[in-house]
Amino acid sequence: MEITDIKKEELKKFFYIAAIHNEDFGENIKMPSCVIDSYWHDLLKNKEGYKQFSLDACGKELKHKKDKGEGILSWVETYERIFGKLPDVWFIAPNGEFQEDVYRSYIKTGVVKMSWDCEPTTGDKDDDGGNDWPSDNDNDSDDD
């Protein structure tokens, strides 16, 4: 399977988990800074294509909301329960470097601690539903 296909499948899984977390817990989950996030930003450049991708993935049009931070990713346990362990692609930084230390920690503890700069939102419940469509410059990473 090509890396683009893997990123696409993992983003679909992430959107599915995002919809579950929003519906069941009323919370938005964080998208870690990785190549899957970069793939998401690329999809956002085509609004109609993105809308269809989102609907196919989780039955809702998820919106993009900027939100910077760092911490434990709360959704990993849900992902593992449904899909199994996170594949390596989640640990590839936007610049293409494999985040070995984060990956080894995940394998050892089952916990993923990473930085993020956005989250998917549904517009449901207390979610403000804002859609921050990224500009071409938003794909640039200053995480070195």
Q: Return the percentage of the chain with pLDDT > 70, whole number.
A: 85
Asked whether residue 62 is domain-assigned, the answer is: yes
- Which helix (H) or strand (E) covers residue 63, if one does? strand 63-72
pLDDT digits (tens, 9 = 90+) for 22-51: 988 888 999 999 999 999 999 999 999 999
Q: Could you tell me if 16 and 57 are in contact, meaning their C-beta atoms sit under 8 angstroms apart?
A: yes
Residue 47 CB contacts under 8 Å (≥ 6 apart), including other chains: 133
Asked whether residue 93 is domain-assigned, the answer is: yes
pLDDT digits (tens, 9 = 90+) for 108-133: 999 999 999 999 998 754 444 455 54
Bridge partners (DSSP) of residue 116 are 32, 69
The encoded tokens of residue 41 equal: 């930003």
Q: Is 32 in a helix, a strand, or coil?
A: strand
Structural domain boundaries enclosing 83 = 3-124
What's the distance, CA 13 to chain centroid? Answer: 9
Whole-model pTM? 0.86
Q: How far from each other are the two terminal CA atoms of the chain, in whole angstroms?
A: 28
What total of structural domains would you count in the chain?
1
